[in-house]
Amino acid sequence: MAKNALCIGINDYPGTQSDLKGCVNDANDWAAVLQGRGFSTKLLLDAQATKAAMVSAITGLVSSAQNGDTVAITFSGHGTYAPDKSGDESDGLDEALCPYDIFQGNALIDDELHQLFQQRKTGVRVILISDSCHSGTVLRNAPSDPDADAPRVRFLPMGAWVPEDQLPRAASGRPLTTLPISTTTSPWAGVITPGGDLLMAGCEEGPNKFSYDARFNNRSNGAFTYYALKTLKTLPAAATYADWHAAIRRYLPSANYPQVPQVMGARRALKLNVLA
């Protein structure tokens, strides 16, 4: 049984004025830990992580996996919303990850990710770890100084990359650059399938739910990634994903990082041994 991983980290978002600091460290940290647990790991960092490169890497990883193999994908970067063009979203928005070339309109939306994952063969287990956020109201929580050491949220509002004539409109006709999102279900829940799939996310979905780009011991990381890897080191050999999530919840939410980590999957999947 093969174990393969793709670790994506994007700090540099040209044209958006919304660079981050901890995402490349996150990707490198996940890659090192996964390699130590027997995964063959590929990295996509900053300019390497265009939408085309992300799609190609995920396609290769998922389509080549065989029955019994495990695929792990970690993403650290901005999340966003995109106007829904297929009509399958009740709120008129698709959830999306932000590749390096997001400013060219290249969001990787949930529908596309679902299609990529559908290429798997029977018996292939997929673990998706997303240290980003998708709440349209969280921008006000970002510090005014992008060089400050204060935590910065990992959300890119639509107004930062969607042309004004393509933005949703309020009743007044004014373009909406951000929208309050009322759902409490993770946008990536529809990507995973019943059985062995798992989603781990840095925060819950909804207004004021977000993941932080933070700093620990003079080094930048995502708060979720930092505590996920910190607790992973302390878990017993037989620990399950439910155990791992419970360990992370001892640290998050906190006064400094009021985010609630999520783990989603079938009951059987939650009882699997971590990264086995």
CB 221 within 8 A of CB 215: yes
Q: How far is CA 192 from CA 24, 179, 185, in A?
A: 25, 25, 13
**Which residue bears the tokens 């290429």?**
119
**From 78, 98, 134, 203, the catalytic residue:** 78
Is 134 annotated in the active site?
Answer: no
Cα separation, 152 vs 53, whole angstroms: 26
d(C-alpha 256, C-alpha 151), whole Å: 8
Q: Can you list the alpha helix ranges (DSSP code H) found in 17-175?
A: 23-36, 51-64, 110-117
Of residues 133, 134, 203, 245, which has the active-site annotation? 133
Q: Among residues 126, 134, 131, 133, which one has the least CA distance to residue 241?
A: 126
10 vs 94: CA distance, rounded Å: 21
Does 114 qualify as catalytic in the annotation? no
Catalytic residues: 78, 133
